[in-house]
Structure 1
Amino acid sequence: MAQVESLADVRYVREHELAGALQGADVLFMWDFWSDALARAWPGEGGPEWVHIASAGVDRLLFPGLVSGDAVVTNSRGVFDEPIAEYVLGLVLCFAKGLHTTLRFQARREWRHRETERASGAHAVVVGTGPIGRAIGRKLSAAGLAVTGIGRTARGADPDLGEIHGMDELHQTLGRADYVVLAAPLTDLTREMIDGTALKAMRPTARLINVGRGQLVAEDDLVEALRERRIAGAALDVFATEPLDESSPLWDLPDVIVSPHMSGDTIGWRQELVHLFADNLGRRRDGRPLRNVVDKRLGYVPYEETPR
């Protein structure tokens, strides 16, 4: 944080100290993006003019007091795009080539020849048209997959996601996918959008990959669909409750890959988060536009060019 400390008087606080620290503070850098403490500590008048969160998702920040006030919210869009896209590509190849099954057989010293699938030519539907979804679309397209997007509103030919369908066409579009990739923000529109009805709309050979937020999926419905083989598998990096409880059946289902919310965390990611915040802090000091300003009503940064 030396770069930040050269630009401002910095105070580091834990949750129980937050309420006192917010009074008179100009800026809050919310490093612990899982904490709910800010909603309890938010002072309303006299609080920070700008809140920045060290994540792409901002659902923890969008409590009524902050949404209705004048404070600007920014996120860490751009840090995780390419790492998450690489992770998703790895999961697609893992499923297509049965690598998770190969490792299971290897652990049992079991020699079992199998045929695998081609990733090239498969169809991926990416739900979420922000920078992470777009990076995923580019990576999958480069690997030979056909890509379709689902976003808030339908759009024509898109350079990263092909044709983009609106959320009102979710179920219809899911039925054409070999891979359904969730990279959408958590909003009232997207919460538990993958429920029993959506899962029934998917092909029995399709796989679900979630790198967005756990609450995008109704987990009980997913467990039921997997047990009944109504879909072929799932790779889950995020969950409704984290860490995932040891008693969850998701740990043991044979075609489920569980990872601990790590898809975007490559070596050096913490430094990148700080560098982004320091850049924005310098912009604020110089009177230049901030990067990654969140539309608090929508719950995400509208897709547009980042100010230079």
Structure 2
Amino acid sequence: MHSGRPPDPALMAPVSARAAVRYTDSAGLADALPGAQVLFVYDFQTRALPGAWPAADRLRWVHIAATGVDSVLFPELCASEVIVTNTRGVFDTAIAEYVLGQILDFAKDLTGSNRLQQQQVWKHRESERIAGSTALVVGTGAIGRAIAGLLRAAGMRVRAVGRRARNDDPDFGVVTTDLYAELPCADYVVAIAPLTDRTRHMFDARAFGAMKPHARFINVGRGELVVTDDLVGALRSGGIAGAALDVVDPEPLPSGHPLWTLPTARVTPHNSGDFIGWRAEMVSAFAANFDRWSAGRPLDNVVDKTLGYVPGRRRASE
């Protein structure tokens, strides 16, 4: 299922060699589902599956071309025996690089330097160091781990908040479950938690109020992790020093929204993971999983539908 731009047929060749492949958009999903055993949700933002679900008479596996699976998890699917997998692993490095880039932009004020250049103003300024500062990564999945590794390599101290506390995590060291105990200690807070009932709106006025006034907030998870009005309020009041948002709520961000013009906000259009060649890698990841499916082997990146994400290690046992 796609949104106007179907997967490259050449990349889908390993799948079409073994199965009849139907291409459809969201509007045609209900007509295309009868008889289908596998659904490749190439348009990761679609909300069409719940409405088309009654037509899924033989469906056994849904694969989404994204890490987050909130767009395809709904009660009927969760209660069924249909397996859900995601494209975990494709975007890890690119999103980690985006986070480091935004941290460097804040610390070195590269945006401000560019603005001064456009004005042809030569103005000496001092900048912050990121080495020795503390980053709190909220979300301990594969992308959060890639972020932690890159930030540590840049000399930052990294802590994490996750679903399970531990003191010997190989990537984070210390992982706690108490967000409010960690927020006052962080210079940068990075949101990469999956969107679930537990995490929706976890960053609200209370959370921003617990952060240092000089702290910056970076969201590369889901826009709905944040109460947007509370974030705007924190930026306007100086409760926090800045926010870099690759995801927002609502999305796309409407014209005239205050986040567009707040000087301490950085907004990008949900593309932190979209490196050159990402579409091909998404299709290749699905094709590799389809090989496993065809051979009767365990699938990679099976989502725990009660949790809303892939738990534990990236790959299923061989």
Q: TM-score normalized by structure 2?
A: 0.94
**CA–CA separation in structure 2 for the residues paired with 1:223 and 1:47:** 46
Residue 44 (structure 1) shift: 7.0
1:23 aligns with 2:38: no
The residue type paired with residue 60 of structure 1 is S
Residue 110 (structure 1) shift: 2.1
Matched residue, 1:248: 257
Indicate the percent of aligned positions where both proteins have the same amino acid: 56
Does the CA-based 8 Å contact 2:69-2:309 persist in structure 1?
A: yes
1:93 aligns with 2:104: yes
Structure-to-structure mapping, 1:41-120, within 5 angstroms: 41-43=52-54, 46-120=57-131
Matched residue, 1:236: 245
Matched residue, 2:315: 306
The residue type paired with residue 33 of structure 1 is F
Matched residue, 1:284: 293
1:160 aligns with 2:198: no
Does the CA-based 8 Å contact 1:125-1:180 persist in structure 2?
A: yes
**CA–CA separation in structure 2 for the residues paired with 1:99 and 1:88:** 14
Select which of 203, 209, 217 maps to 1:200: 209
1:257 aligns with 2:266: yes
3-state secondary structure, aligned to 1:246: coil
3-state secondary structure, aligned to 1:43: helix
Does the CA-based 8 Å contact 2:221-2:247 persist in structure 1?
A: yes
Matched residue, 1:7: 18
Residue by residue over 1:38-57, the C-alpha shift from the partner in whole angstroms, topping out at 9 and shown as x without a partner, is 01101276241000000000
Residue 243 (structure 1) shift: 1.4
Residue by residue over 1:256-295, the C-alpha shift from the partner in whole angstroms, topping out at 9 and shown as x without a partner, is 1110101000011001001110011010110110000000
3-state secondary structure, aligned to 2:145: helix
Select which of 155, 180, 192 maps to 2:189: 180
1:139 aligns with 2:150: yes
**CA–CA separation in structure 1 for the residues paired with 2:29 and 2:298:** 27
1:148 aligns with 2:148: no
Select which of 103, 121, 126 maps to 2:132: 121
1:210 aligns with 2:219: yes
Structure 1 residues 98, 45: closer, same or farther in 2, change over 3 A? closer
Residue 305 (structure 1) shift: 4.5
Residue 159 (structure 1) shift: 1.8
RMSD: 1.1
**For structure 1, which segment, 230-239 or 9-18, has the greater mean C-alpha deviation from structure 2 after superposition?**
9-18
Structure 1 residues 10, 45: closer, same or farther in 2, change over 3 A? closer
Does the CA-based 8 Å contact 1:7-1:281 persist in structure 2?
A: no
Give structure 2 stretches of 5+ with no counterpart: 1-11
**CA–CA separation in structure 2 for the residues paired with 1:6 and 1:221:** 51
What is the total number of aligned residue pairs between the two structures? 306
Q: TM-score normalized by structure 1?
A: 0.97
The residue type paired with residue 143 of structure 1 is A
**CA–CA separation in structure 2 for the residues paired with 1:17 and 1:256:** 39
Matched residue, 2:46: 35
Residue 7 (structure 1) shift: 2.6
